[in-house]
Amino acid sequence: TNEPSSTLRRSSLPRIAKVSMSHFEPSSYIAYEKLQSNVNTVRKRLNRPLTLSEKIVYGHLDSPADQEIVRGRTYLRLRPDRVAMQDATAQMAMLQFISSGLPKVAVPSTIHCDHLIEAQVGGAQDLQKAKEVNQEVYNFLASSGAKYGVGFWKPGSGIIHQIILENYAYPGVMLIGTDSHTPNGGGLGGICIGVGGADAVDVMAGIPWELKCPKVIGVKLTGTLSGWTSPKDIILKVAGILTVKGGTGAIVEYHGPGVDSISCTGMATICNMGAEIGATTSVFPYNHRMRTYLEKTGRADIAALAEEYKELLVPDTGCEYDQLIEINLNELKPHINGPFTPDLAHPVSSIGSVAEKNGWPLDVKVGLIGSCTNSSYEDMGRAASLAKQALDKGLKCKAKFTITPGSEQIRATIERDGYSKIFNDVGGVVLANACGPCIGQWDRRDVKKGEKNTIVTSFNRNFTARNDANPATHAFVTSPEIVTALAIAGTLKFNPETDYLTAPNGEKFKLQPPTGDELPARGFDPGQDTYQHPPSDGTGLRVDVNPQSNRLQLLEPFDKWNGRDLEDLQVLIKVKGKCTTDHISAAGPWLKFRGHLDNISNNLLIGAVNVENDAVNKIRNQLTGEFGGVPDVAREYKRNGVSWVVVGDENYGEGSSREHAALEPRHLGGRAIIVKSFARIHETNLKKQGLLPLTFADPADYEKIRPDDKISITGLKTFVPGKPLQAILKHSDGSKETIELNHTFNETQIEWFQAGSALNRMKELQK
C-alpha cells in the first residue's frame, strides 16, 4: 500500500502483512534484505567496523561493489527510498519534473501543505483563509501530484517533518526532502537529508542521487535527562560547540547509554535542529523508544522487522568517528540560544544577566511553542503541565503565547486530552497545524517594525527578521518548557529552576519540573482525513498553469555554456558578513511567489549587506552610477547583456534548502558566486542551476575584490575535477590582479554546467 499509516487507521482499507511501503517497493523485508546485502558487500571491501550512518548510506549505494568510498572526498551515487516536498519548494520541484517530460515518479513521493498558512487569528480561521488565498497553488500541487503519482497532504494536515515521522520514516530508510529540516526523521533511525528541488527531481526521475561521502561526527551521550532539561538542550549545547558550520560535510551520529533516556520524538527534535550546524543529517540508533513509537503510530509490523534486523540499525562495536563529542546528560542544564543566530548558547540561569549586559530587552513579548522541531505530543504535554500549575495558582501568561500543533493527529489528540483547553485558559492561542511564525508566516501586530523587543520560541532558527520581518526583534531559541515558563513570567530574568512566581493572592510559588506522557495512553486521535492518494494511472489528467498567473510560471530552459571563459563579469554585490538563504531569497510574504520564478526574483539578495555602504538592497549600478535595489540592478544588467558575479563571505547560503536562492541569480543573469566558503545544500543548488560556486584559494583574496571590479573567470575550457580556476580582477583604475579559485565539481556536475543546468543535462540523456 502507498497509504500513510494514519490514513490507513482512518479508512476501511485492510492492513497488508509484511508492510508494503509503497507501490514501488515490494515490502520492507526486501528493503532490509537489500540493505543488509549492500552493507555486507561494503564491509568486506573496507574491512573495518561501520558507523550506523555508514551502514545506511552505503547500504543505499547504486553500485556497492565498485563505488569508491572515502569519507569527505568521493561522491557517492545513491538510491534513496522516498522523496518528500513541502508546498513552498514543491511548486518549483514539480515544475522542474514537468519540464523533464517523464510520465510518473519512480520512487514514492509526497507533497505536504504546511508553509503557506499565515498565523493571524487562530487555527481554523487562518487555515480557511489560506485555502482561499492559495487555492491556485493548492490546485496545482494536488493536480500535478495526481498526474505524476505523488501523494498530496492537504493544507491543515500538519508540518511535513511531523507527518513523515508519523507515517513514512522508519529505521534504516534513506529519504530526501526539499526542506532543510528533513533530518527530523533521524529520530526514527533513518538517514533523512534536506536537498533542493532539483535533487528531488533526480530521485523522482529514477536517476542515482549524488552526495559527497559524509564524514561522521559522533556524539556520545551518557547519564540521563531529568527535571527541566529536555532533548532540545542537547542540540542547543551541540550547536554552541560546533557553531553554524561545524557540522558541514558530516553526519552527526548520536550514541551511548544516554540515548535510552530520550523519547523518539525527542531524538527527532535533536536531529531536526542539526540543520543549524550545517550537518548533512543526524541520526540515532534503533532502540525500544523507536519500537514503541512505531507501534503507537500503527506500524507494529515495521517495528517487528526492525527487531529482526537490529544489528543492521546500530553502529558496529569499534567503529571510528572523525570527531567525537561527549555530553553527560546528568550535568546538562537548560539552554537558550540567541539572539540572531542559533549557535549563541547560554544556560537559562544566566540569560537574564547576559541580556542586561548586552542591552537586550528583558521583557518577553511573545512565547511561541511548536514548529517542526518541537510539536510532538510529549512537547505539548510538558508545556501544558506548566501552564496547569500557573492556572491552579490563578496566573495567566504575562506574554502573548502561541501554540502550533505538529500535525492534525497531534491537534486532535491534545484537544481530546485537554491540553488545548489548558493552553487557551492560560491565555494561549492554538494556531493552525503548519509552520507559521517559525518561517515568517506571522501577521504580527503587537509591535511596530523597528521596535526593539524580545520573543522566545521552541523553533530552530532565529536569524534577523526571520520570524516577524522585524530586524529589531531579538529571537531566542529554547525548549517548549522554557518558552512556557518565560511566557508565564514575562521576563528573561526568570530562572524556573530557582525563581519564584507570585500568585494573585500574594503567595510565592515555584514551578515544579515539567512532566508529560511520551505518547498518548489512549492512542492517537487521527482527526480529519487530509490525505489524497494519487490514482494508479494519471496519464489522462491535466495540469493547467494560467499564463497570466502571478503565482505559477512554467519554466524555460537556461542557456547552455558557450564554450568560452567568462569575460568581464560585473560584480553585482560584494556581500559583507552572514548571508543565509533568508538574505538571498527572503521567505515570509515572498512564499506566495515560490512557483513563479520571475516574480520571486524581485527578492534577490534584498537582505544582504553591501560592503560598499553597509546598506541592504542598495547597490551601485555600474552602468549609470546610481544606486538601486539588487534585483533592479541585476535586471538592468541582464537587459544590457551584462553577466555578473556575487562575492560573499563565510558559510554563504546557510539555512534553508530553498533552491530559489540559486534559481534567482541564474534567472537574472548571474554566472558565478565567489565566496570564502559555502553551506552544503546551497553549493549543490547553485551547481544544479548551471552557476559556478567558487571559493577563494586564499580567503584573504576576498579583500582584493572591489565593488566596481570586472572579473574574468578562466580555465573553463579545461574544467576538470580538482583543478582550480583563475579569476582576473580588472579594477577601475586600470590595474589587474589574478587570484586562484577552488571548486568541488565532479565530472557529472561539470556536465551540468556545460549543459546549462542539471535539468538540461537530464533531457540530453533522454534523447
Residues classed as catalytic: 114-115, 179, 461, 656, 658
Using DSSP's 3-state secondary structure scheme, residue 547 falls into coil
Contact present, 697 and 715 (Cβ < 8 Å) = no
Crossing angle (nearest 10°) for helices 135-148 and 123-133: 70
User: Pairing relation of β-strands 82-86 and 174-177?
Assistant: parallel
Place of cell 493547467: 544
Alpha-carbon dihedral 181, 182, 184, 187, rounded to 10 degrees = -150
Instruction: Describe the chain by its helix, strand, coil percentages, rounded to 5.
Output: 35, 20, 45
Measured from the Cβ of residue 578, the count of other Cβ atoms closer than 10 Å reads 22
250: nearest Cα among 191, 202, 189, 297: 191
For CA atoms 334, 337, 343, 344, the dihedral sign is negative
Measured from the Cβ of residue 357, the count of other Cβ atoms closer than 10 Å reads 9
Using DSSP's 3-state secondary structure scheme, residue 277 falls into helix
CA distances from 171 to 53, 338, 675 (A): 11, 33, 38
Report the Cα 12 to chain-centroid distance in Å. 35
Length of the chain counted residue by residue:
767
**109-126 per-residue burial string, b: 16 or more CB within 10 A, e: under 16:** bbbbbbbbbbbbeebeeb
For CA atoms 559, 178, 91, 654, the dihedral sign is negative
